[in-house]
Amino acid sequence: MSKNFKIFLGFTYLLILALFLYFIFSNIEINRLNDFLYYKELQLNIDQFVTNNLIINIIYFSVFTIIWVLMLGFGSPITILSGILFGKWIGTLVSVISMSIGALALYSIANFFFKDLVKNILEKKFRKYIQLFQQNEFNYFFIYRFIGGLGVPFFLQNLFPVLFNMKKTNYFFSSLFGFIPSVFIFCTIGSGLNTFIKESDNFNLLELILTPEIYTPILMFAGFMVVSLVIKKKFFKYVN
């Protein structure tokens, strides 16, 4: 990959990020960020806007999520936002599908154009996993997604299969099903934040934590981490 193309990719990423931040901050009254009533007003306006244009907004959000993942964005912020906007059920469905498409697009582009670059950067870090995944790429990558990628950053999880040339159908469906538990938990947290803002008159951290819509997904997340550790020891115990 030429130096000029690297510069172009970096510039494109920064441009999209700058436009996104400009859109966000141009619609936020920064001087009211410490006013809880302001968040209630935002919540009401967003809720009305999303409800009145649900299908269109789902499409917009899906396209944005695909681009976000394609541009190496993190997974958890987008899933929390999805829960805030669409609730835990629709938010989970929209996020899982969009993230899977975005991840597949990133993988396909990297595998076609930047395979040598990805191998140079990641092969040493992931060498210990390559032979294991080649035994059954669908099952192991599903488990890998399910347990959160063994602590590997989200965008590296998406690129890792380039090292063993994973089939695109296996990549997509193992991601699709593997994403569901963690995405549902984060969407539930987002939905709980939305409910708390809607029903509360002022902000209280203790009340927020003790809200069933918040502590339930937190407990789910803790349980999920325990299950992930058990699964990791069972399926990746021979990987050092």
pLDDT digits (tens, 9 = 90+) for 106-144: 999 888 877 787 788 777 777 777 877 888 888 888 988
Can you point out the beta strands (E) in the chain? none
The mean pLDDT of 175-199, rounded to a whole number, is 89
Q: Is residue 207 domain-resident?
A: yes
3-state class (DSSP) for residue 113:
helix
User: The tokens 């809200």 sit on which residue?
Assistant: 211
Query: Which of the four pLDDT bands, split at 50, 70 and 90, describes residue 240?
Result: very low
Q: What is the rounded distance in angstroms from the CA atom of residue 37 to the CA atom of residue 29?
A: 12
Would residue 22 count as lying in a domain? no
pLDDT at 226 over 90: no
Nearest to 40 by CA among 200, 192, 208: 200
Distance, in Å, from the CA atom of 48 to the CA atom of 89, rounded to the nearest integer, reads: 18
Question: Within a domain: residue 240?
Answer: no
Residue 29 lies in a domain: no
**The total number of structural domains that make up the chain:** 1
- 129 lies in a domain? yes
DSSP assignment, residue 34? T
Average pLDDT of span 63-80: 87
Residue ranges making up the domain that contains 216: 35-235
| Mean pLDDT over each residue of the chain, to the nearest integer | 82
Count CB atoms within 10 A of the CB of residue 62: 18
Q: How far apart are CA 183 and CA 98, in angstroms?
A: 11
Is residue 6 in a domain?
no
The mean pLDDT value for 89-117 works out to 90
Residue found under tokens 């569901």 = 180
Task: Assess if residue 71 is contained within a domain.
Answer: yes
Cα separation, 232 vs 149, whole angstroms = 10
Asked if the structure places residue 183 within a domain, the reply is yes
